[in-house]
Homo-oligomer: A and B are copies of this chain.
Amino acid sequence: MAAPNWLYENFDTAGSAIGFRVNKKLDEVQSPFQKIEIYGSTDWGNVMLIDGAMMVTTRDNFLYHEMMSHPALFTHADPKTVVIIGGGDCGTLREVLRHPGVEKAVQCDIDEQVTRMAEKYFPELCESNGDPRAEILFDDGIAYMANCEPGSVDIVIVDSTDPVGPAEGLFNKAFFESCHRALKDDGILVQQSESPLVLLDLIKAMRTEMGKAGFTTFQTLPFPQPCYPTGWWSCTLARKGQGFDFRDADARAKPFETLYYTADIHKGAQSLPPFVAKALGEG
């Protein structure tokens, strides 16, 4: 590729597309699970695609990684043990490890190649991989959660691709039952839950499956994410009974810098737009 070129992801489900101007294809690997491509872009740093879907750019990944971690960690009273299912780019792991109270953070992604690519093309996301509290596994996240010691985990973060292909099994009752069992009574499950504008049906279906698995309270937090379809994304928290008041004072006094997350942003995201609240039965 000589001159800059436009690289698009056509998101069939929603009939919308996202694209970046790229000037170089840096790598491509077909792992046993998926095709991973890396491009250099003119304005967004490096871009990782998995099976043609934009996963991470250097420039905007902080939005997603901060929102997948800090709201859950500042909602739980004292999170010590965190499990990340997926998250092979290690960006969520890095954010989790910013919390000094975390004693152990396990990252279990099925595809080692995602992490190898991240180490090479997104080294800043991997800067905490050597933290003694981090355990990085390349294994089936569904099996990992099924075999987890009951009541041993404070927070499970499901940082997965879309619910097709390898990630399909991360969106159903059986998987959520494993998460429910692994979590302590005050534990929190948080999962990336796609676009609140065009994928409300998916968020509803996910909550229904979580409910069948025993979770009783839910909270969906929207946030901007330019490299994902519609540029507007969400995570959904689930819990066994407790509400989602967060540790406001601790969030304000957090001992680390963030680019997007703040206590006020967290609080703001808790107020759903009426059309979302209505669709989720909270209106």
The minimal Cβ–Cβ distance linking A272 to chain B, given in whole angstroms, is 9
Complex partner residue of A264 from B222, B230, B268, CB under 8 angstroms = B268
Taking the complex as formed, is A60 at the interface, i.e. its CB lies under 8 A from any CB of chain B?
yes
Complex partner residue of A198 from B15, B43, B271, CB under 8 angstroms = B43
Chain B residue nearest to A19 (CB atoms) is B17
Distance in angstroms between the alpha carbons of A59 and B262 in the assembled complex: 30
Taking the complex as formed, is A269 at the interface, i.e. its CB lies under 8 A from any CB of chain B?
yes
Distance in angstroms between the alpha carbons of A273 and B266 in the assembled complex: 10
Taking the complex as formed, is A34 at the interface, i.e. its CB lies under 8 A from any CB of chain B?
no
In chain A, positions 223-267 with a C-beta closer than 8 Å to chain B are 224-226, 230-232, 257-262, 264-265, 267
Taking the full assembly, how many copies of this chain does it contain?
Answer: 2
Taking the complex as formed, is A144 at the interface, i.e. its CB lies under 8 A from any CB of chain B?
no
Taking the complex as formed, is A33 at the interface, i.e. its CB lies under 8 A from any CB of chain B?
no
- Are A43's CB and B14's CB within 8 A? yes
Q: Say whether, besides A10-B19, A43-B16, A262 and B273 are in contact (CB < 8 Å).
A: yes
Distance in angstroms between the alpha carbons of A10 and B273 in the assembled complex: 29
The minimal Cβ–Cβ distance linking A23 to chain B, given in whole angstroms, is 9
In chain A, positions 3-53 with a C-beta closer than 8 Å to chain B are 6, 8, 10, 12, 14-21, 41-44
Q: Say whether, besides A15-B42, A43-B16, A271-B265, A224 and B226 are in contact (CB < 8 Å).
A: no
Distance in angstroms between the alpha carbons of A21 and B133 in the assembled complex: 46
A6 surroundings in chain B (CB, below 8 A): 8, 10, 17
Distance in angstroms between the alpha carbons of A198 and B226 in the assembled complex: 10
Taking the complex as formed, is A197 at the interface, i.e. its CB lies under 8 A from any CB of chain B?
yes
- Are A18's CB and B17's CB within 8 A? yes
A10 surroundings in chain B (CB, below 8 A): 6, 19, 21
Distance in angstroms between the alpha carbons of A189 and B275 in the assembled complex: 28
Chain B residue nearest to A22 (CB atoms) is B15
Distance in angstroms between the alpha carbons of A42 and B13 in the assembled complex: 10
- Are B226's CB and A231's CB within 8 A? yes
The minimal Cβ–Cβ distance linking A100 to chain B, given in whole angstroms, is 20
Distance in angstroms between the alpha carbons of A269 and B59 in the assembled complex: 22
The 7 A-B residue pairs whose C-beta atoms are closest, nearest first, are A231-B231, A268-B268, A17-B19, A15-B43, A264-B271, A15-B21, A224-B232
CB pairs A–B below 8 angstroms (12 shown): A6-B10, A8-B19, A15-B42, A17-B17, A17-B21, A18-B19, A59-B197, A197-B224, A224-B224, A224-B232, A225-B231, A262-B274
Show the binding face of A for B, using Cβ within 8 Å. 6, 8, 10, 12, 14-21, 41-44, 59-60, 197-198, 222, 224-226, 230-232, 257-262, 264-265, 267-269, 271, 273-275
